[in-house]
Amino acid sequence: MGLTKRTAFALAATTTLLGACSTGYGGGYGMASAGYYGDSYYDDGYYGWYDNFYYPGTGYYVYDRQRRAHRWNDRQRQYWQARRAAIRDQRNIRANWNRWERRAERRRDARQHQRAERRRDYRQRQRAERRREVRQERRAAQRREVRRDRREDARREARRDRRQDARRDARRDRRQEARREIRRDRRQDARRDQRRDRRGERRRTRPN
């Protein structure tokens, strides 16, 4: 029994709606792209994405995301035949990959955006790492300079202390030497005086 045009349109719309509701995935185009909206019919709903497969609008094969061909199953066949039946002018039906290309373009744009984001994140990490390394090198250089200054100050103080100690020791040695010379001179003077006194005493006690 043949179907009237209005019956075919109603069947196509019902099948499309049930397919979209049962799978929860209408190919990303909603009811308007299913070829039916109110009493109007659209001529671009016979190709596109459904059930995670792409149908170009002709033939018996659907294509996965890697564009590998798979023979359609009963649900996919009913879905796409119903959408094709809703086309006003069947002569307009031909293989169409526009939605695949648009999706591929969206994926390409998304990949480019992700790559740009990764590159930006990588550059930001690199800049942050370089800044951190520069700060670390600066802090290390400052610490080295502080340690060098401290060592130089310690050496200067040590040299100054040694010079002061040497001068103090030299002054003490000179004072001690001067005291020894004074004591020696005094002893010599005392012996000389004693000898002179003894000689004078002997002269006085010598008989005439």
* Model confidence at 60: pLDDT above 80: yes
Report the predicted TM-score, pTM, of the whole model to 2 decimal places.
0.35
More confident of the two residues 91 and 83? 83
Contacts of 23 (CB under 8 A, 6+ apart): 50, 51
Give the pLDDT mean for 134-152. Answer: 93
The mean pLDDT value of the chain amounts to 77
Query: What is the model's pLDDT at position 44?
Result: 57
Name the band, by pLDDT with cuts 50, 70 and 90, for residue 208: low
The confidence score (pLDDT) of residue 65 equals 81
pLDDT mean over 153-167:
92
pLDDT level of residue 1 (50, 70, 90 thresholds) = very low
The percentage of residues in the chain with a pLDDT greater than 70, rounded to a whole number, is 75
DSSP string, the chain: -PPPHHHHHHHHHHHHHHHHHHHS--TTSTTGGGTEETTEE-SS-SSEEETTEEE-SSSSEEE-TT--EEE--HHHHHHHHHHHHT-S-GGG-----HHHHHHHHHHHHHHHHHHHHHHHHHHHHHHHHHHHHHHHHHHHHHHHHHHHHHHHHHHHHHHHHHHHHHHHHHHHHHHHHHHHHHHHHHHHHHHHHHHHHHHHHHHHHS--
